[in-house]
């Protein structure tokens, strides 16, 4: 939740969510809220038919614009970021969405603009209630496409940022992904918004374009005035209104230091992820889409520790075929070879369902029919994916893991299906790796507590700490009223992690982490000291995590873990982690800190 405080020099300091690192100081350009009244008319039957033609022309123009944006972003930031706008095209081409708009025109006799607004509101209301971060953040994509369609219906090419000619910080309620992608970088130094989160496409585009950004500030758009000076610190998540002369001076020094640290971290790309005394850790990357593979290679990650397969299933009317899945998994396997790729079987359920899958409503879907439970109840769907993953294993070092395992029975049942698929492929003469490793994700306390029972049936464990923390502490991390209780260093969470590691190692099973804890370099020594074999995080976090590994001695990391086990609160454990990081890799704290904080002269990776 955003906070605000005033300083003695008359500044107002706001705390939000830093989503793109860097410092920007410039006058405010206030982006007016897109609250223009959408025209609403009731049509006759004859007018409704004509309105359909008008809508189709707007769809054609919108698709053309999205293609142009895709090309522009690919030139500026690379294909992996340009492919964000493939998601916008999926919204535009979603048969269910377009059918809803058509129904609004033909059945409700609403004009096209009003029909689009109604359809978009229905979609965004549903997505806003989804627990899954990735799907919830698609709200901004739907709104963006709807705004663009409505704008094209009015034949308007004007956007709120058209003609910007002063170097500025953009402030507004929110910034659409397509607006971010087409910002004039020479004039836009940063942005700050009331709404938003780190997983939104707007945040992703800001990082890709190197624009410092802070979101989730609640009401900054109501606090600022056009032209007044503002400081945006995308690393710490702070925004300062009317910054003092000293603040601006320190910000300039800090910005230069940040650039130096990031440059030095980039030199670690080809260095091994091993501690200062030679203990090796496997450092992998998490990906959502095949288009992210170049970012993995650029980061210096040792393969893919989590390949999420849900994107192949959602926003479509038909289930993906075996050949379609093989193409995606095979592309990842070949691109990463000889490094490994771990594919998570589809985590459908909760609010993540393919349009063609019909399931009854559940009061609490996140404790219900989802992930491995859903797959075991849909053996045909599951077998299609398992066959595709097995066939991809002939093209590279592919492994497979099951999500949301709660007991050994689920693992046995899933393994039986894998064995049946192998037998089918042998009979058909299709190649696959007979020894393809199969693992289980530990996301539920019951799995951690019975890890010694599950371990004989798998080759590895991967701790999904996001869900493990939530399920252990009964905390919804996106609920602002209890989000402060979401504590990855809570002693209960750490005991479950240690329990899993000990059980795995006792059975010759390696153990990794693919949740957010793996991407926090301050926690890296703690995880290394607890005995984890692998860390997997988003590509952007790989350099800092590698630096944290290389700067610490295994003996010091183990001492940290032992001391942490004696403490009673999450805050005490986190302080202990920060103390060690301050001694071994102070640049890590400076990357996440504020101007002037935790300063030192350490060089990354040495």
Q: Are the beta carbons of 209 and 84 closer than 8 angstroms?
A: no
Reduced to 3 states, what is the DSSP secondary structure of residue 577?
helix
Taking the C-alpha atoms of residue 153 and residue 149, their distance in angstroms, rounded to an integer, is 6
- Specify the DSSP class assigned to residue 226: T
Q: Which two tokens mark 352?
A: 């993540």
- Computed from CA positions of residues 391, 392, 396, 398, in that sequence, does the dihedral angle turn out positive or negative? negative
**Using an 8 Å Cβ cutoff, are 239 and 233 in contact?**
yes
234, 236, 238, 239: CA torsion to nearest 10: -30
DSSP label of 215: E
DSSP 122-160: HHHHHHHT-S-HHHHTTHHHHHHHHHHHHHHHTT----T
Q: How far apart are CA 224 and CA 216, in angstroms?
A: 15
Whole-angstrom Cα distance, residue 412 to residue 477? 32
For 378, list phi and psi in degrees, rounded to 5. Answer: -125, 65
Rounded to whole angstroms, how far apart are CA atoms 544 and 267?
Answer: 11
Instruction: Please state, in angstroms and rounded to a whole number, the distance separating the CA atoms of residues 115 and 103.
Output: 8
Determine which one of 375, 421, 514, 577 is catalytic. 514
Cα-only R_g, the chain: 25
Q: Are 78 and 294 in contact (CB under 8 A)?
A: yes
Catalytic residue among 88, 201, 457, 490: 201
Tokens 């260095």 belong to which residue? 271
Per-position DSSP letters for 407-442, written without gaps between them: SHHHHHHHHHHHHHHHHHHHHHT----TT--EEEEE
Answer yes or no: 514 catalytic.
yes
Residues 359-393 as b/e (b if ≥16 CB within 10 A, e otherwise) read: eeeeeebbeeebbbbbbbebeebbbbbbbbbbbbb
Rounded-to-integer distance, Cα 386 and Cα 115, Å: 41
Confirm whether 499 is a catalytic residue.
no
- Cβ(172)–Cβ(197) below 8 Å: no
Residue 542 region by backbone torsions, left for phi larger than 0, else alpha for psi between -120 and 50, else beta: alpha
Q: Nearest to residue 512, comparing CAs of 521, 524, 29, 376?
A: 524
Residues 598 and 558: beta-carbon distance below 8 Å: no
d(CA 551, CA 531): 17
**Alpha carbons 116 and 104: distance in angstroms, whole number:** 8
Q: Tokens 């020094």 label which residue?
A: 253
Dihedral of alpha carbons 580, 584, 588, 594, sign: positive
- Show which residues are catalytic: 201, 514
């Amino acid at each position: 939740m955003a906070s605000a405080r005033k300083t003695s020099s008359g500044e107002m300091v706001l705390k939000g969510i830093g989503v793109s690192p860097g410092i920007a100081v410039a006058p405010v350009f206030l982006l007016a809220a897109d609250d223009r009244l959408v025209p609403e008319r009731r049509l006759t039957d004859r007018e409704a038919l004509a309105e359909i033609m008008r809508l189709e022309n707007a769809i054609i123009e919108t698709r053309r614009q999205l293609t142009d944006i895709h090309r522009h972003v690919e030139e500026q930031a690379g294909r992996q970021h340009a492919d964000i706008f493939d998601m916008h095209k999926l919204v535009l081409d979603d048969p269910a969405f377009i059918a809803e708009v058509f129904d609004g025109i033909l059945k409700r006799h609403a004009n096209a603009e009003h029909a689009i607004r109604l359809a978009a509101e229905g979609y965004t209301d549903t997505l806003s209630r989804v627990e899954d971060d990735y799907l919830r953040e698609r709200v901004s994509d739907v709104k963006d496409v709807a705004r663009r369609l409505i704008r094209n219906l009015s034949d308007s090419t004007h956007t709120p940022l058209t003609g910007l000619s002063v170097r500025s910080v953009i402030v507004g309620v929110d910034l659409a992904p397509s607006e971010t992608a087409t910002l004039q970088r020479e004039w836009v130094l940063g942005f700050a918004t009331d709404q938003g989160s780190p997983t939104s496409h707007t945040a992703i585009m800001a990082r890709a374009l190197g624009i410092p950004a802070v979101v989730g500030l609640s009401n900054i758009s109501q606090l600022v005035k056009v032209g007044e000076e503002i400081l945006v610190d995308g690393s710490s998540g702070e925004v300062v209104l009317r910054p003092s002369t000293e603040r601006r001076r320190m910000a300039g020094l800090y910005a230069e230091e940040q650039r130096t640290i990031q440059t030095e971290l980039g030199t670690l790309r080809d260095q091994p992820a091993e501690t200062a005394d030679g203990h090796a850790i496997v450092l992998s990357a998490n990906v959502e889409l095949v288009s992210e593979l170049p970012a993995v290679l650029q980061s210096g990650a040792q393969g893919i520790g989590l390949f999420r397969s849900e994107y192949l299933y959602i926003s479509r009317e038909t289930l993906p075929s075996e050949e379609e899945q093989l193409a995606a998994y095979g592309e990842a396997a070949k691109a990463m070879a000889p490094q490994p790729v771990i594919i998570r079987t589809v985590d459908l359920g909760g609010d993540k369902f393919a349009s063609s899958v019909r399931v009854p409503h559940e009061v609490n879907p996140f404790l219900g029919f989802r992930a491995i439970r859903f797959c075991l109840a849909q053996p045909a769907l599951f077998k299609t994916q398992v066959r595709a993953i097995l066939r991809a294993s002939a093209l590279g070092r592919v492994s497979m893991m099951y999500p949301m395992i709660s007991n050994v029975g689920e693992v046995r049942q899933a393994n039986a299906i894998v064995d049946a698929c192998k037998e089918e492929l042998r009979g058909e003469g299709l190649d696959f790796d007979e020894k393809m490793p199969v693992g289980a994700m530990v996301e539920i306390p019951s799995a951690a507590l019975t890890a010694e029972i599950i371990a004989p049936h798998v080759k590895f464990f991967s701790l999904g700490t996001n869900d493990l923390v939530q399920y252990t502490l009964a905390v919804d991390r996106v609920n602002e009223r209890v989000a402060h209780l979401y504590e990855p260093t809570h002693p209960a969470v750490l005991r479950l992690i240690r329990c899993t590691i000990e059980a795995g190692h006792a059975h010759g099973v390696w153990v990794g982490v693919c949740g957010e804890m793996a991407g926090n370099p301050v926690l890296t020594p703690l995880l290394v000291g607890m005995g984890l074999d692998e860390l997997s995080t988003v590509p952007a976090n790989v350099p800092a995590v590698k630096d944290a590994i290389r700067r610490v001695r295994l003996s010091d990391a183990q001492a940290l873990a032992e001391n942490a086990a004696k403490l009673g609160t999450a805050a005490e454990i986190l302080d202990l982690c920060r103390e060690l990081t301050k001694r071994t890799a102070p640049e890590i704290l400076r990357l996440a800190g504020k101007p002037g904080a935790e300063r030192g002269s350490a060089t990354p990776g040495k």
